[in-house]
Amino acid sequence: MIWQTLYDNLPFLMHGTWVALQLLAALLALGLVLGLTLALGQVYGPWPARLGGWAFERVFRGVPAVVLLLLFYYGVTDFVALSSFLAAVLALGLRSAAYQSQIFRGAIQSVPAGQMQAARAIGMGRWQAIRTIVLPQAARHAIGPWTNEFSSELKATSLAYVIGVVELTRQAKYIVSNTQGNILIVFGVVALIYFIVNRLGNAVLYRVEARLAVPGFERRSP
């Protein structure tokens, strides 16, 4: 009976979900740190930083995620030993950095130039003004688009399946193989799990957005 099978395999599905969440957290963190660095370089940096950021963004936004995964796993592992999990973090994380850099670049640029001038005029250094004035305002502009990025990347973790990361989608495939069929129900349950995680994540991010909202930075309707 398929329900019994699903029940018996629930620990595997949960473990797969846990791996997917770890992959998501790692790739978003890499994307956040690198994306913010690239964005700051593109807005405030000298021309090599702008050019480098631009080239990086073009490459990683222009190549399909599955191709990146294959390149990092099969291509790079010829030179450096990488687990499939680490290869997935790098491939998807660098790709996310490219997307996040554009979210942050736009958010930073939407802070009016007068804010920086006012900060410099009271004697702040450039970096101090960026940290205390520009970034807190940019964060409020970025949180909405960043919520979209979270959703996209959660779903993109399922692609790590192709290089053998045993995440949620691959666990589902194992269950299907072991039980000869039941594709619709097994993947239906998996879809539901992705859906729930996505909703929960969005709910948390909307709360963050609401907390950051101040008059002048009203929350956009979710």
Partner 1 sequence: MTKSDEEVLRVEDLHKRYGDHAVLRGVSLTLTRGEAKVVMGSSGTGKSTLLRCINHLSPPDAGRVLLEGQPLTPATLNAMRRHIAFVFQDFNLFTHLKVIDNVRLGQRRILKRSKAAATERAMQELERVGLADRAHYYPAQLSGGQQQRASIARALAMDPKVILFDEPTSALDPELTGEVVTVMKQLASEGMTMLVVSHEVGFARTAADEIVFMDGGTIVEQGPPSTLFANPAHERTRAFLKVITHQESA
**Footprint of partner 1 on residues 43-72 (CB under 8 A)?**
none
**Piece of 73-81, 84-92, 100-108, 209-217 that binds partner 1 (CB under 8 A):** 209-217
Can you tell me the distance from the alpha carbon of 27 to that of 33, in angstroms, rounded to the nearest whole number? Answer: 10
- Minimum CB distance to partner 1, residue 119 (Å): 7
Minimum distance from CB of 100 to partner 1 (Å)?
Answer: 21
The three-class DSSP label of residue 220 is: coil
Per CB under 8 A, the list member of 121, 183, 184, 210 interacting with partner 1 is: 121
Which range of residues in 27-35, 100-108, 166-174, 213-221 is near partner 1 by CB under 8 A?
213-221
- In terms of CB distance, is 48 or 123 closer to partner 1? 123
Cβ atoms within 10 Å, residue 63:
14
Using CB under 8 A, pick the residue from 40, 92, 119, 142 that binds partner 1: 119
Tokens of 88: 């997935």
Binds partner 1 (CB under 8 A): choice among 7, 8, 75, 115: 115
Q: Cβ distance 159 to 65 under 8 Å?
A: yes
State how far the Cα of 159 lies from the Cα of 182, in Å rounded to an integer.
21
From 20-28, 122-130, 147-155, 173-181, give the range in contact with partner 1 by CB under 8 A: 122-130
Rounded to a whole number of angstroms, the minimum distance from the CB of residue 142 to partner 1 is: 13
| Dist. CA 92–CA 31, nearest whole Å | 8
Report residue 2 CA to chain centroid gap.
34
- 124 part of the interface to partner 1, by CB under 8 A: yes
> Are 95 and 60 contacting, i.e. CB atoms less than 8 angstroms apart?
yes
Angle, helices 47-62 vs 84-109, to 10°: value is 120
Site size for partner 1 (CB under 8 A): 22
222 near partner 1, rule: CB under 8 A: no
Which 8-state DSSP code applies to residue 219?
Answer: P
What part of residues 126-185 is at the interface with partner 1 (CB under 8 A)?
128, 132-133, 136-137, 140
Query: Using CB under 8 A, which of 1, 4, 114, 180 touches partner 1?
Result: 114
Contact status: 216 vs partner 1 (CB under 8 A):
yes
Distance CA 73, CA 77 (A): 6
Q: Report which of 18, 5, 67, 65 is spatially closest to residue 166, judged by C-alpha positions.
A: 18
The residue ranges that bind partner 1 (CB under 8 A) are 112, 114-115, 117-125, 128, 132-133, 136-137, 140, 214-217
